[in-house]
Structure 1
């Protein structure tokens, strides 16, 4: 059994979608990041960086409970455990891993900053808005280019690289980028195909009723962006 510590953010969806794709048994523990659950001592024992998602595999590598934080590491672990969506041959495997790291190091941070400065910053910061929107547009173009050569980010087969990247291009996330995905037709086609997968639909639906942040309350803004993020633990 996998215990999933989760809130329905793009990074959270990576784990829930992968659990659905893998067929592994799991149970969900909501971590309400709008109310500060991520700072609880119990959660920090599992995820010391106070970020979701995190998992605890109750039958880990040595048969003991095994916690993992960081969404990219979670995807790799679940792929290894289930034997799916991560090839075994070195060339194919590293093709997938480089696109997984592309998401972790580029898509997530840049799209996240774009969404923050365009949608949640308390006052406009024109330089930051342009900087991160331009970089988001550039990354759309990178993906659109490679998807003109192959059906999935890392090649001919769906993989954890696609699982990692799709949640950052879901409609509710894209709207914060203030761009038109139809300007990137191959990327748009890829998003449509991934969204149609039953496991993706199930994973995206986990806690769907609480997924929208909207206009954050003072409590939510402090939990998400305030000094509590900076306090030493």
Structure 2
């Protein structure tokens, strides 16, 4: 059975949504990143980058959320859209993985986790995150979903981060992007989203951002 290494953060949630959309059986393996479990030798053998998510598909190990989505979508022939739109799908997936995700993550870090208030960094990452929101908003002006009329792994990938707009940009900020807001409500209403949100409901993950958590999440600072 497929093992899914999980923490309830944006990138693992993308994979959770795919698994629930696809109806695949899997074993959920919690990785408490605030306790530093991602740095264990056992987990490093699954993901040498020591991040979540990762999967072990009966011996085939895949890490990075975009790689996992592509692997599972191609293996099961699901959520890939039309064959003629393959280039568009790949382009938007890379836009999300190299732009929307990292800039959103850094916006969250410098606003909520950095030990110093650094206005330049906050402005830089918030504005770049917002710029990526605008690119998506423009794309969705004439498209139901990111690559066209079909729900794909590009939508699943983007949902993981747009779902965290509050810590990235702030309250009511998504309303400034009406097409993206409409798209998000459409995706967020899918039954699989509610299932994905509940997969770890009985798991107690560490929540305190104390010294242990900071050392686990940002070891390079020490």
TM-score (norm 2): 0.93
Which of 167, 171, 181 pairs up with 1:176? 167
Deviation at 1:211, TM superposition (A): 8.9
Counterpart of 1:17 in structure 2 is 17
User: In 1, distance between residues paired with 2:134 and 2:116?
Assistant: 29
Which of 92, 97, 101 pairs up with 2:85? 92
Q: Does residue 130 in structure 1 map to residue 143 in structure 2?
A: no
TM-score (norm 1): 0.89
User: In 2, distance between residues paired with 1:212 and 1:30?
Assistant: 8
Counterpart of 1:29 in structure 2 is 29
Counterpart of 1:162 in structure 2 is 155
Counterpart of 1:142 in structure 2 is 135
User: In 1, distance between residues paired with 2:155 and 2:64?
Assistant: 17
Counterpart of 1:62 in structure 2 is none
What number of residue pairs does the alignment pair up? 220
Aligned CA distance change for structure 1 residues 208 and 188 (closer, same or farther; 3 Å): farther
Please, which runs of 5 or more residues in structure 2 have no aligned partner?
Answer: none
Deviation at 1:169, TM superposition (A): 1.2
RMSD of Structure 2 on Structure 1 (CA): 1.8
User: In 2, distance between residues paired with 1:38 and 1:193?
Assistant: 33
Please, which runs of 5 or more residues in structure 1 have no aligned partner?
Answer: 59-64
Counterpart of 1:61 in structure 2 is none
Aligned CA distance change for structure 1 residues 181 and 202 (closer, same or farther; 3 Å): same
Counterpart of 1:70 in structure 2 is 64
Q: Secondary structure at the match of 1:46?
A: coil
